[in-house]
Chains A and B, each alone.
Chain A
Amino acid sequence: MDLKELYKDIILEHGKSPRNFGKCEKYTHEAKGYNPLCGDQVQIYLKLNNEKKVENLSFEGSGCAISIASTSIMTELVKGKTVEVAKKIIIHFLDMIKNTSEIKSKDLDEDQKTKIMSLSGVKQYPMRVKCATLAWHTLTSAIEGKKEEVNTEKID
C-alpha cells in the first residue's frame, strides 16, 4: 500500500481548503451525519429550486482529511445537477468505493470523474471507508428530507 494513493494531493488540498464550507443562503433541505467511531460530524445544507435542481450545496462539520475532502468534492460535483442526477452520482460513488474500482456515471465529465476517483485509494483502507461515505449518505438523507441523523454504524 502506498500512502500517496490515499493522501493524493487533491485530497490534501480539499481537506485543507474545503469548497462550499458553511451554511449556504436560503437552503431548503438539511441533514446531519455522525460517525460514532470517531465522533466526526457533518451537516449538509441543500438548496433545491422549483425545477428540482441543486442550486446550492454546502456543509459544516469536522473530520479527517478524507472525510472533509470527500464532502468538499461531493459539493462541487453535485452542485447544478438535478436531484435525479445527484442521486445517480451518489449511487455510482458508493459503488466505486465499496464494490467496483471505477466510476460508471454518465453524468460526469472526464475531469469530474478524475476528481471523484481521487477518493478511490480509500478502498485499500477498510477502516477509513466510512470517513469517505458519511457525507454522501447524509446528502441522500437531505434530498429525501429525512429527519433522523445519519449514523455510519447503522448503514452498510
Chain B
Amino acid sequence: MDINSIRSQFPIFSKKINGKPLIYLDSSNSSQKPLSVINSLDNFYKHEFSNIGRSIHRLAVNATNKFEETRMSIKNFINASSKEEIIFTKNATESINLVANTFGQKNINKGDEILITDLEHHSNYVPWHYLREAKGAVIKFAPINDDGDLIIEKFKELISSKTKIIAITHLSNVTGTIVPIKEIVEIAKKKNIPVLVDGCQSAPHIKIDVKDLDCDFYAISCHKVYGPTGVGILYAKKKWLEILPPYIGGGGMINEVKKNKITYAPLPEKYEAGTMPTAEVVAFNESIKFMKSIGIENIVRHEKELTSYALEKLKKINSVSIVGNPKNKAGVIAFTIKGIHPHDISTILDEDGVAIRAGHHCCQILHERLNLIATARASIGVYNTKEDIDKLCDAIENCRKVFSSK
C-alpha cells in the first residue's frame, strides 16, 4: 500500500491550517474525499445531469443507469443477496429511523422490548425512544465493562420473550470497540429476533459481509466512507422490505395512485420517495472504487498498525488517559488529559493544524457510564500516517505547555 499515492488523491491535504499542514484525525466524524469523488460530482453536474427514473430522454436514461450502477457496487461491496436490498437514504441516521418507524408501526406494541447497548450513538437510541413514547415500548441497554466491551452474558440475560428487535453498533465511535456482530446475531437468531446493525463507523474500516453476519438491517453513512454527504444506505433483508410499510410517501415510490387507493412501487423504489441525491449517489461509486483499489485488507492492516502506534505513543504521555481498552479496537481513540478540558485540547491542537473532535460525540449514555462529561477523540482514516500521530503527540505536548505556563 503506497500511502503517498493515497494521500495525493486527497486535495485537502495540500491545504494549510493556520499556516501548518492539515493533520486530519476526525474521520469518525466524517472522512475527507478523494479527487475521483469530487470530479464525479463536478462531471455529473456539468455533463450528465438529469433526474432519474421516469423520463425517456437520453440524459435521464444515462443518469438512471449510473445511479443503479452504484446500487450494484454497494450490493457487491457488502455482499448483499440482491440490489433490491439496498435502499438509498439521507444517511445512517435516516436508515435507522426508517427501520424504527416501519418495523415499529408493524411489530412493536405496548410493553414490547427493544434491546440496544450502552455503546450506541444517539442515532441508534433516539429513533427507538420515539417508539417508547408513541407505543409504550421498553428500551433496554445492554451493559459494557470498563474496557468498553459488551458483556455478552448480560446481553443474553436481557433478551426476553418480549424482545422484538436488537439494535447495535458494529464499531463504537468513542472506544473504537469492534462488536462481535456475528455472535450477537447467532444469539438473536436462536430466539428469532431481528438485528439492526449501525455500521456507520465500521463501513470505512472493516470488511462488511452482510450474508456472513446474517443481520437483518445494516445502516451506513456514505460521507464517512470517503463519499459525499447527503447519502446513506440501508441494507435490509428482502423479506423485511417486502412486508414492512413504506416510510416517506411521495413521487417515485408509488405504483398506482387513485382517489381511493394507492399501491406502492416494487423494491427498492418503495423506500425512495422524491428526488434522490442523484449526483451524490453516482459519485459514491467512486468511493467504493477508491476503497477497492487499495483493498479492504490493506486498509485494515494499515489502520491497525497506525492504531497500535498511536496507542503506544499516547500511553507514554503520563497525563493522557485512553478511554476504554476493548479486545478488538479500531482506529478511534478517545482520550482525556489530566487537568485540561477536551474543548481546550481541541482549540490548542487546532492551532497546530491538528483536527480532532471534543465533546460527548453523540454518546451521552456511554460517557455517563464511563463517568466522563466529555472526551477528546482522534480518529484515523486510510490517509493517516505515523507522522500524523507524531504531530498529534507534539500538539498534546504543546497543550500541556500552554496549561502549565502560568
Query: Hey, which bits of chain A sit against chain B, CB under 8 A?
Result: 1, 3-4, 6-7, 9, 12-13, 16, 37-41, 62-67, 125, 127-128, 131
Q: Which segment, of B124-132, B240-248, B335-343, faces chain A?
A: B335-343
* In the A-B complex, the 3 residue pairs with the closest CB atoms: A64-B341, A64-B343, A9-B406
Does the CB pair B18–A1 fall under 8 Å? Answer: yes
Does the CB pair B406–A40 fall under 8 Å? Answer: no
Does the CB pair B341–A7 fall under 8 Å? Answer: no
- Chain B residues with CB under 8 Å of A65's CB are 340-341, 344, 403
Does the CB pair A38–B360 fall under 8 Å? Answer: yes
Does the CB pair B359–A38 fall under 8 Å? Answer: yes
**B374 close to A (CB within 8 Å):** yes
A148 to chain B, nearest CB (A): 20
Contact code string B386-406 (vs A, CB < 8 Å = 1, else 0): 000000000000000011011
Does the CB pair A38–B358 fall under 8 Å? Answer: yes
- Chain A residues with CB under 8 Å of B403's CB are 7, 12, 65
CA distance A39 to B372 in the complex (A): 10
CA distance A125 to B402 in the complex (A): 16
**B348 close to A (CB within 8 Å):** yes
Does the CB pair B351–A64 fall under 8 Å? Answer: no
CA distance A38 to B359 in the complex (A): 5
Does the CB pair A131–B374 fall under 8 Å? Answer: no
CA distance A127 to B357 in the complex (A): 12
Task: Provide 13 A-B residue pairs closer than 8 Å at the C-beta atoms, listed in order of the A residue.
Answer: A3-B351, A7-B402, A9-B406, A12-B402, A12-B406, A16-B339, A39-B373, A41-B373, A64-B341, A64-B342, A64-B343, A127-B347, A131-B343
Does the CB pair B343–A1 fall under 8 Å? Answer: no
Chain A binding surface SS class: helix
- Beta-carbon nearest neighbor of A128 in chain B: B347
Does the CB pair A39–B374 fall under 8 Å? Answer: yes
- Beta-carbon nearest neighbor of B351 in chain A: A3
CA distance A9 to B402 in the complex (A): 9
Contact of B405 among A1, A9, A66 (CB under 8 A): A9
Chain B contact patch, size range: 20 to 34
CA distance A35 to B385 in the complex (A): 34
- Beta-carbon nearest neighbor of B360 in chain A: A39
Does the CB pair B405–A64 fall under 8 Å? Answer: no
CA distance A65 to B342 in the complex (A): 10
- Chain A residues with CB under 8 Å of B406's CB are 9, 12-13, 16
- Chain B residues with CB under 8 Å of A37's CB are 359
**B364 close to A (CB within 8 Å):** yes
CA distance A39 to B361 in the complex (A): 10
**B121 close to A (CB within 8 Å):** no
Question: Which of A12, A39, A62 is packed against the most chain B CB atoms within 10 Å?
Answer: A39
CA distance A65 to B374 in the complex (A): 13
Does the CB pair B347–A6 fall under 8 Å? Answer: yes
Does the CB pair B402–A3 fall under 8 Å? Answer: yes
- Chain B residues with CB under 8 Å of A38's CB are 342-343, 358-360, 373-374
- Chain B residues with CB under 8 Å of A67's CB are 341
Q: With contacts A63-B341, A128-B343 known, is A40 near B402, CB below 8 A?
A: no
- Chain B residues with CB under 8 Å of A13's CB are 406
Does the CB pair B341–A39 fall under 8 Å? Answer: no
- Chain A residues with CB under 8 Å of B402's CB are 3-4, 7, 12
- Chain B residues with CB under 8 Å of A3's CB are 347-348, 351, 402
CA distance A62 to B358 in the complex (A): 15
- Chain B residues with CB under 8 Å of A131's CB are 343
- Chain A residues with CB under 8 Å of B359's CB are 37-39
- Beta-carbon nearest neighbor of A10 in chain B: B406
- Beta-carbon nearest neighbor of A125 in chain B: B347
Question: Which of B18, B364, B403 is packed against the most chain A CB atoms within 10 Å?
Answer: B403
**B237 close to A (CB within 8 Å):** no
Does the CB pair B373–A62 fall under 8 Å? Answer: yes
- Beta-carbon nearest neighbor of B18 in chain A: A1
User: A12-B402, A128-B343 given. 6 additional CB < 8 A pairs?
Assistant: A12-B405, A39-B373, A64-B342, A64-B343, A65-B344, A127-B347
Chain B positions 320-348 with a Cβ under 8 Å from a chain A Cβ: 339-344, 347-348
CA distance A93 to B367 in the complex (A): 33
Chain B positions 64-123 with a Cβ under 8 Å from a chain A Cβ: none
B380 to chain A, nearest CB (A): 23
CA distance A21 to B364 in the complex (A): 25
Q: With contacts A12-B403, A12-B406 known, is A66 near B344, CB below 8 A?
A: yes
A53 to chain B, nearest CB (A): 33
- Chain B residues with CB under 8 Å of A9's CB are 405-406
